[in-house]
Amino acid sequence: MTVILPGSTIGILGGGQLGRMIALAARTLGYHVIVLDPDPHCAASAVSDRVIAAPFDDAHAAAELARACDVVTVEIEKIAIPALDQAALHAPVRPGAHVLHVVQDRARQKDWLVAHGFPVGPYWTVRTHEELAAAARDAGPDAFLKSCTGGYDGRGQTRVSRPHDAHYAWRSLGERPCVLERALPLEREISVLVARRPGGQSTVYAPAWNHHEHGVLDWSVIPAPVSRDLAHRATTVAVGIADALDVVGLLVTEIFVLGDGTITVNELAPRPHNSFHHTELTVLTSQFEQAVRAVCDLPLGAPDVVRPAAIANLFGDLWHDGTPPHWDAALALPGVRLHLYGKSPRPGRKMGHLGAVAASAEAAVALAMEARRRVHDAASVPTAAAPRPLGRR
């Protein structure tokens, strides 16, 4: 493998906030950055050398990007496979099309996990209303219907509480292929980040604990307050998946922890992840620098957590009257930092996050939530539900 040294050019397929943060880390290391995104004014545009404005299925544009770069990576899963294949003719694409092919379709992803012996909760792939009705009877009194493609942040999914809800659920998701997942007795969700070089060398981060509101990540804390045994089992699964997929770059595995301590894989993300944004605050190597190191085949950085840290996401509702939020109310708290993504606000859209560093996971979550509460109070916006106590298992 050839190391891609600073001074080279990295191409990023996708120019959202993750692309922006990868670009910032790449620039710090001395790389040039070119981004492909449908929006010429995407979040990453302000920190990139060039933006190629094109859809994610434009194979010619992807090839144009790759010809100008020494390596290409992704910040979003929905890049068309033919575009990835065309890019790969001109520069290494990391992670490769084989990884995104598995991840892009929820049913295909779950089938792959089962075939490779990883733990997955009960699910049924349905392509017709009749198949859904039958699956709903098998799934029992509570299940989630999720579209096979295109869903994220709570979109593209709905709850099926009773079998006769299937008709309305099927119509609400556009009558397209879906996965029905039996509702599980969850204690919590954690995620594990693995970084992996082309030769297979890898490093793994401490698990993060994630709390969702209405299917969207609301806050996250690292390290997750879990037992060594649970952390070991979760990281073993995550590393095994990264190796079996032969990922080059990052892979985040979202894991459900059930009430009896067993774990199942929820889904995979072959890119930086919202649940590891606090690595910028408290880990020796942030996930964004690690992504650059991995795809450029540089030595991987240390994933040690210096102090516990939490993030609380910020949504476009804070700009409800067009007035910038009172960030000073949060920044007055010691240990709090603000990260905005440079996006145009709209209700429900992730606009940034507040990070908080403290002596314990509990204190970090409390500080991040207090910082966000102060901003919400200044803007007179209803706050999200307070977190429950951080237990251990």
Query: CA-to-CA distance for 155 and 104, rounded, in angstroms?
Result: 15
Pairing mode, strands 32-37 and 50-53: parallel
Query: CA-to-CA distance for 334 and 340, rounded, in angstroms?
Result: 18
Q: Please state the rounded mean pLDDT for residues 294-321.
A: 94
Task: Note the pLDDT tens digit of each residue in 355-372.
Answer: 999 999 999 999 999 999
For residues 135 and 156, which has the higher predicted lDDT (pLDDT)? 135
For residues 151 and 149, which has the higher predicted lDDT (pLDDT)? 149
CB 280 within 8 A of CB 341: no
Return the structure tokens found at 80.
Answer: 């068309």
pLDDT at 154: 62
Query: CA-to-CA distance for 177 and 106, rounded, in angstroms?
Result: 10
Query: CA-to-CA distance for 64 and 352, rounded, in angstroms?
Result: 31
pLDDT at 194: 98
Give 143-146 contacts, CB < 8 A, sequence gap 24+: 143/180, 143/181, 143/182, 143/183, 144/180, 144/181, 144/183, 145/169, 145/170, 145/173, 145/178, 145/179, 145/180, 145/181, 146/106, 146/178, 146/179, 146/180, 146/181
In the predicted model, what is the mean pLDDT of the chain?
93
CA–CA distances in Å: residue 392 to residues 55, 119, 188, 229, 231: 45, 22, 10, 11, 11
pLDDT at 145: 93
Domains and CATH numbers, the chain: 9-93 (3.40.50.20), 122-182 (3.30.1490.20), 186-379 (3.30.470.20)
Query: CA-to-CA distance for 34 and 211, rounded, in angstroms?
Result: 34
Q: Where are the alpha helices (DSSP H) in 246-296?
A: 279-282, 287-295
Query: CA-to-CA distance for 343 and 338, rounded, in angstroms?
Result: 14
Does the pLDDT of residue 322 top 80, yes or no? no
pLDDT at 192: 98
φ/ψ of residue 26, rounded to 5: -65, -40
Cα distance from N-terminal residue to C-terminal residue, the chain: 42
Task: Note the pLDDT tens digit of each residue in 212-253.
Answer: 998 899 999 999 999 999 999 999 999 999 999 999 999 999
CB 312 within 8 A of CB 296: no
Helix (H), strand (E) at residue 350: strand 350-357
Does the pLDDT of residue 391 top 70, yes or no? no
Instruction: Write the DSSP string, 186-235.
Output: EEEEEEEEEEE-TTS-EEEPPPEEEEEETTEEEEEEES-S--HHHHHHHH
Look at the block and give the residue holding tokens 């003719």. 89
Of 107-116, 185-194, 238-247, 380-389, the range with the lowest mean pLDDT is 380-389
Strand runs (DSSP E) across 14-129, as ranges?
Answer: 32-37, 50-53, 71-74, 123-126
Of 31-35, 215-219, 384-388, the range with the lowest mean pLDDT is 384-388
By CB atoms closer than 10 A (0-12, 13-18, 19+), residue 342 is middle
> Is residue 22 classed as helix, strand or coil in its secondary structure?
helix
Confidence of residue 152 (pLDDT cuts 50, 70, 90): low
pTM of the model: 0.93
pLDDT at 377: 87
Does the pLDDT of residue 1 top 70, yes or no? no
CB 36 within 8 A of CB 61: yes
